[in-house]
Amino acid sequence: MPTNLNFEMARSLVGFTVLLLFLSICESASFFQPISDSHRSAAVELFSPDHGSFKSLEETYEALRTFDVLGIEKKPDVTATACRLVSETVGSSSSTLKDLFYALKANSIVKCKINDKAYQGIITRLNAAVDGASSLPDFYYSVGGLLLVKGSKGDVHLADADGIFRSVKAFRQSDGRWRFSSNSPESSAFAAGIALETLAGVVSLASPELDQSLISTLNSDISKLFDSIEKYDDGALYFDDKLVDGHDHQGPLATTSSVVRGLTAFAAVTDERLNIPSNKILGLANFFLGIGVPGDAKDLFNQIDSLACLESNRVSIPLILSLPSTVLSVTKEDSLQVNVNTVLGSNAPPLTVKLVGVFTSGSKAASLVESQELVFDDGTGMYNLNNLPKSIDVGSYTFVFEIVLHEPEHEKIYVTGGQKKVPIFASGLIKIENAEIAVLDSDLGSIETQKKLDLAGQNAVSLSANHLQKLRVSFKLTTPHGLAFKPHQALLKLRHESKVEHIFVVGNSGKQFEIVLNFLGLVEKFFYLSGRYDIELAVGDAVMENSLLRAIGHIELDLPEPPEKATRPRPQPVDPYSRYGPKAEITHIFRAPEKRPPKELSLAFLGLTFLPLLGFLIGLLRLGVNLKNFPSNTVPATFATLFHVSIGAVLSLYVLFWLKLDLFQTLKLLGFLGVILVLVGHRVLSHLAATSAKLKSA
């Protein structure tokens, strides 16, 4: 069963830090910078208490410790809340051992007022805990607690230091790693760190002093532990527990940090010198510095706390050589500045920085300069080389430095890591001369048109050529020292109106750069696209301070018509802005209504249509029409009346049909009226016929 310590720390798997990837980010800056202001601002940001207090005592301690090491002024309310928490925990008998431990740790920084009675209670509790401890964390908290009480009260001793030492040592494994408890099968470097810190505590609490032979047996354990150290390509060293079960895996940062804490604590109490190569300590320091600024509070604490341990350890104190700037301008005559600090950025002992050699990157040629010492500047605390050596022209170099300590006894205290290679870019203004653009006739090579270019300013050359001609662009590049310069980027770009681009690398011979485009050979590549081509020239390099991208002008190309099988250029990307956006509105155009005469005209013609009727009526009157033949007898008269009423009804039906009735209604009614009409019509007409027959016969 893993202990509560394990569970708590496993809470954040965040411990996993630094990795190949991160190092690849810093690849170009493979030297390490000491702790800087960015750590301070990150610390303030990361350790921001919620409503004035941190989540736990452990976090409170981590925040206080980080602020303390970085020299950040503690806010009064943080101190006050921390003190309140501490006195609550210390005063209560129900607080856990771990909380008590962290309360005492926090107290060692903020120095709260704790009365003697409370101390007495703590000492009794911790002593009881030491006696009853069965696992490594129990020992760690109780012994650590007692040590902290001793720090503030003074008169604390472990009665049976020897026995405790042995029982802690029982967790040791043969490979230098330790176990958390006797029944846990896994051993880890993380536990080793804790064990060393605990044992260091036991040693300093022991009264009378412990047997030195007992202590010295640990020395070989530490050496074994350091055999399992792992390494990054850039020289950073770290510890990592490769556990199959990721449950209580701490990650390289937490593990390395634990080992460093244990190691430095142990080195502080032992009389004899620990047998650890000082370069390993430097490698560990590089590991912590290589992380940069962690984004997690726990990681930041581990980093800062470990660096603080390394800053004043008794094994060897790493010194870090760093350069504020690795890009130096030859033109501006920048001076080479080198900083040598401890890991936390404080001043190093008196020493000399030597520039051992300068090598061109990627070549194995001999050093360009002789070994020389850098001048120490008291004002800035930096080592300067005021003028770059004359042999340094623009380019990228590897500078090799060496630190020489003045005092021979410092050699034992400090570790400098021997020679240090630093990549340096020496940049400068490149002189561009004789820039020309010309159109040549193909067969003779004679110049048809030639224009001078001013690559520092604006150009608007306007040329024209056909497929039998050539285009030549040439210029000359010289470094400040008058040597040939070969930029990484020397590209000529021709862009057709349809945005089809063609890019050519401009080659050189010595200082002279020239490209000749023979259009006859390029027609196919140009997709037979005639028309205007914009010309752009890009010359740039990492060490060229005046890298440029210039639109030179344009050339009108007259290329032959494409054959049928010619390849078409790839479609060019469409501007995303034009692809979207509202479309033009569309309104429907309605059919125009038919042309009609004015209403007045229709009415006039309506009047005219009644004229014939009028004429008919007048005609009838003039003819003297009468109704003398109307039957006089009642029966025929009735039939005659009915006949005419029926005709009138049929005619009215027609009017109704026109006004509102549909065909079916009309036919129905018409059928009915028709029958009546035929019947009465037959009677009337036969009556009239009979009457007229009578008249004739009479």
Binding to another protein in span 206-245, by CB under 8 A: none
Residues 519 and 465: beta-carbon distance below 8 Å = yes
Binding window for another protein (CB under 8 A); candidates: 106-114, 173-181, 230-238, 587-595: 587-595
Q: Which of 128, 375, 635, 651 is in the footprint of another protein by CB under 8 A? A: 651
Closest CB 399 distance from another protein, rounded Å: 12
According to DSSP, residue 383 is labeled: E
Name every residue whose Cβ is closer than 8 Å to that of residue 373 and which is 6 or more positions away in sequence: 352, 353, 354, 355
Residue among 315 and 424 whose Cβ is closer to another protein: 424
Q: Which of 36, 38, 212, 462 is in the footprint of another protein by CB under 8 A? A: 38
Residue among 607 and 671 whose Cβ is closer to another protein: 607
The alpha-helical segments, DSSP class H, found in 237-371 are: 251-269, 278-290, 297-311
Q: Which of 244, 366, 444, 584 is in the footprint of another protein by CB under 8 A? A: 584
Residue 139 to residue 95: CA distance in whole angstroms: 17
Does 364 participate in binding another protein (rule CB under 8 A)? no
Residue 98 to residue 4: CA distance in whole angstroms: 9
Does 325 participate in binding another protein (rule CB under 8 A)? yes
Binding window for another protein (CB under 8 A); candidates: 16-24, 107-115, 161-169, 368-376: 16-24
Closest CB 441 distance from another protein, rounded Å: 26
Residue among 94 and 626 whose Cβ is closer to another protein: 626
Does 586 participate in binding another protein (rule CB under 8 A)? yes
322: enclosing H helix or E strand: strand 317-322
Rg (the chain; Cα; Å)? 53
Binding window for another protein (CB under 8 A); candidates: 48-56, 74-82, 556-564, 594-602: 594-602
Picking from 328, 302, 506, 298, the residue whose alpha carbon sits closest to that of residue 423 is 328
Q: Which two tokens stand for residue 547?
A: 């890298």
Binding window for another protein (CB under 8 A); candidates: 14-22, 120-128, 175-183, 556-564: 14-22
Q: Which two tokens stand for residue 190?
A: 């993380």
Binding to another protein in span 238-297, by CB under 8 A: 251-253, 291-296
Binding to another protein in span 95-154, by CB under 8 A: none
Binding window for another protein (CB under 8 A); candidates: 112-120, 143-151, 339-347, 538-546: 538-546
Closest CB 626 distance from another protein, rounded Å: 6
Residue 572 to residue 592: CA distance in whole angstroms: 45
> What count of other Cβ atoms lies within 10 Å of the Cβ of residue 123?
18
Closest CB 681 distance from another protein, rounded Å: 10
Residues 374 and 353: beta-carbon distance below 8 Å = yes
546: enclosing H helix or E strand: none
Does 522 participate in binding another protein (rule CB under 8 A)? no
Name the maximum alpha-carbon separation found in the chain.
181
Residue 17 to residue 288: CA distance in whole angstroms: 10
Does 568 participate in binding another protein (rule CB under 8 A)? no
Using a 10 angstrom Cβ sphere, with 0-12 exposed, 13-18 middle and 19 or more buried, the burial of residue 577 is exposed
Residue 221 to residue 513: CA distance in whole angstroms: 65
Residue among 159 and 617 whose Cβ is closer to another protein: 617
Binding to another protein in span 412-441, by CB under 8 A: 423-425, 427
Residue among 620 and 675 whose Cβ is closer to another protein: 620
Residues 368 and 391: beta-carbon distance below 8 Å = yes
Residue among 294 and 357 whose Cβ is closer to another protein: 294
Helix, strand, or coil (residue 19): coil
Residue 121 to residue 159: CA distance in whole angstroms: 17
Q: Which of 250, 541, 552, 555 is in the footprint of another protein by CB under 8 A? A: 541
Closest CB 683 distance from another protein, rounded Å: 13
Q: Tell me the per-residue interface mask from 166 to 205 with another protein, x by CB under 8 A, - otherwise.
A: ----------------------------------------
